[in-house]
Every structure is written in structure tokens, then in C-alpha cells.
Amino acid sequence: MGREQWKKIWVGSAGNMVEWFDWFVYATFAVYFADSFFPEGNETANLMNTMGIFAVGFFMRPVGGWLLGRIGDRRGRKAALTLTVTLMSASAVLIAIAPTYDVAGYGGVAVLMVARLLQGLSVGGEYAASATYLTEASAPERRGFASSFQYVSMTAGQLVGLGLQILLQRNMSEEALHSWGWRIPFVVGALGAGIVFYLRRSMLETEVYVESGAAGQQDRGTLKVLWQHRREAFLVMALTMGGTVAYYTYTTYLTKFLSKSAGMEKSTASLVSFCALFVFMCIQPLAGMLSDRIGRRPLLITFALGSTFLTVPIMTMLGHADTFWPALGLALLALLVITGYTSINACVKAELFPTGIRALGVGLSYAVANALFGGTAEYVALWFKNAGAESGFYWYVAGCGAVSLIVYLTMRETRDIDLNRIAAVKAGEKAPPAGATSVTPAS
């Protein structure tokens, strides 16, 4: 992989890291600010309300997938990536200065809601632009490896957030964290977004986009053209379902689950998540490289089998793991299973669409599935817990994995598809089926 390709991957990944730091930090610090924006009462109910606002951000993601996906297809991947990080910076600032319930009543909730809507808009577009950019910027035989850096950067952002949380927990009192310390990570996120904005202004456009002729298509990035590829769009939603539920269960929800259900101290639960996610981040490129050799489907099928049959026992044992090492071992097992999805899902989705509709096709389809399943995962989990039937959530996650398993077993392999095979799709003309033209198989 050449120097220019590494540069593209680095800049794209750095921005993705900041985006997801801001996105996840809301979830990881929710246990500290949940009571600040609502009247005193049931702690679980307040956390549910706060995570309900978290879920609202997910429902804005389809709008971001459509709007910024359209910009990415019509004005280029660079334009979309620059805009997403600008929106994320603004949302981080809003949360950092949001007034509490004691100061402004439900006015603080309104500020949180606006910030989450901006975050949803931004992240909805970031996924599409980042997945498309990382896939297009790499050599055909290294697409799995290159696109795996999307989840490397996403996880790195979450690790920075968790690391900051652990640092604050060890150096600030519980009272200070609940009072004002939770605002610190949002200030850090806003500053980081400003740095990435500067980097992205000088980033290079992908050769696939420049040379494809997509920029000359009048109807590129439109819903009309996307409708011509509706089968691929529905496929993206279906293959995302199990992966996104499992991912959010074992990442953003894990710390709260260990704290609230297993009875583990918050600081220990955060440390378990940090260590597990660090290992998870490191194995993403290895799995991506493996997919370049054996294909995408074997990894996806392995993930779905694990999610379907291992979720209930893993979650049941995690619910009783009140010490560090057992919890870490179970979390690592779960994240190893999920790697079959996370390491390659970006390139699989990008490989399904032609260049002129790739960002919109990936972004909107993924965002819809993420809003329905990923964004509601924590809320569903807390709903089951509040209803006294927490194990019902375990079966819900397993069921979503089973649906995706059926999809993976029936879908075609995408590893050897030429990204330019249907680059110049004309209005009203349907592209040839994926796989009709292929590059030399990856060695």
C-alpha cells in the first residue's frame, strides 16, 4: 500500500475517531449527567430518559445518511467528510454548555436534544463518507484491510472516551463528576473536531471517484438512482441488523450493564470495557486481511453463528461477573465474535453500489437499520431491565443475529468486485449485477 493511500486512510480514520469519540462519550458519561437534566426520582428511569435522547440521535442518522451521502456522491467524499466533522464539533459544544434542570428546567433537555440531532446528522453522513472513502482509497486486493480501519478509528475514539472517564474517576470525586466533570470530554471532543477539520481541508479525493466519471452524472446521489439499486439497499439493512445490535450491546451498553446488573463498581466496569475494546481494536486489521484472502462471507457467517448461539450464555454469565477477570474474558469472547462483522462491514456495503450512488446507498441504508436496531439497543435493554425481565434482551440480540445469519448465507461474495464496474450509471439504466466483472482475486 503506497504512501498516498496510507495518507488517505489516516486522515479519514482520524476524523472518524473524533466523530465517534463525541458520539460514544454521551453514552459512557450518561451515568453521571442523567440526573442533571431531569427531576429527582427513579435513577433507572432518568437513565432511560437520557438514553432515549441518545436513541433520538440515531433516528436523525437516516437524514444524515441521505443529505451527506448525496453531498458525497455529488461533490465528492472530501466535501462530505469535512462537513460531518464541523457538525459534530458544534454538537459537542452545545452539550458542554447545556444548562441543568436546576438552572433552566427542561431547557437543558431541549439543548441536549438539538445536540443529539446534530450528532445524528453528522454520524449518519460520516459512516457513509468514511466507509466509501476508505474502501475507494485502497488497492483492490487490500480493501478489507483498509476498510477495517473504520472500526479501528471508531473504537479508538471510544477508548479515548473511556480512558478519559477512568482518568477523571481516579482524580475527581463522585460529586464533582456528577456536578460538572462530565462536561470535560465534550470540550475535548470539540477541540479534536477542530483539528480534524483542518486536516480534512487538505485531504485528497479518491482516484475511484475522480476517474469514474461519476462527477459528470446529473442524477448522481439521488433517490431516483438509489431506487434502481433497492435490492442492494435492503441487503445492507438486513446484513446490518444483527451486527449493529450486538456491537452496541458489547460496547456502549457494556459498562452500564456491568455496573447496574452485575453490581460491579463503575471504575472497574470502565476498566473492563477499556481493556476489551483495546484488544478488539487491534484485531480489526487482522480480520480485514483475512477477508482479503478468504472472502467476506465466511467472516460474516462466523459472526452471525456466534451471535445467535452465544449471546444468551455470554450475557447471562456477564450478569454475574462482578470481578475484573471473568468479565474481561467474557467481553473479549463477545467482541471476538463481533469482529467478523465490524472488520469488513464497511467494504461489503461499499462493494455493493456503483460510484455515483455509493455514498448515498451505503449511508441511507445503514442509517435506517442503525436507527431501528443499533440506536434502540440500550433503550430496549433498559426497558427489559425495568420490567424485571432482563434476560429477554439477551434473546432479542440473539434473534437479530439469526436474521442476519440468513442474509449472510444467501448473499453473494463481494471481495473480487471491481469498484468501477458500474461507475457510469446513466439515468434510468440499471447497473449489471455485482460480480459480473471482477478483478484478479486477492492473493
- The C-alpha cell 433497492 sits at 230
pLDDT digits (tens, 9 = 90+) for 44-76: 666 667 767 767 777 788 999 999 999 999 989
pLDDT of residue 422: 47
List the one residue out of 370, 2, 36, 7 whose CA is nearest residue 205. 7
* The three grid cell numbers given for residue 42, joined into one nine-digit string: 427513579
pLDDT digits (tens, 9 = 90+) for 135-181: 988 888 999 999 999 999 989 998 888 788 889 988 998 889 888 89
Residue 438 β-bridge partners:
417
pLDDT of residue 41: 63
List the one residue out of 93, 414, 359 whose CA is nearest residue 226. 359
Cα-Cα-Cα-Cα dihedral sign, residues 257, 261, 267, 272: negative
Q: Which range is most confident: 18-22, 85-89, 337-341? A: 337-341
Residues 6+ apart with CB under 8 A from 425: 217, 225, 228, 354, 356, 357, 431
Phi, psi of 417 (to 5 degrees): -70, 135
* The three grid cell numbers given for residue 45, joined into one nine-digit string: 428511569
Confidence of residue 440 (pLDDT cuts 50, 70, 90): very low
Residues 6+ apart with CB under 8 A from 168: 177, 181, 184
Cα-Cα-Cα-Cα dihedral sign, residues 197, 372, 307, 141: negative
List the one residue out of 245, 237, 240 whose CA is nearest residue 381. 245
pLDDT of residue 426: 38
What is the model's pTM? 0.84
pLDDT digits (tens, 9 = 90+) for 287-304: 999 999 999 999 999 999
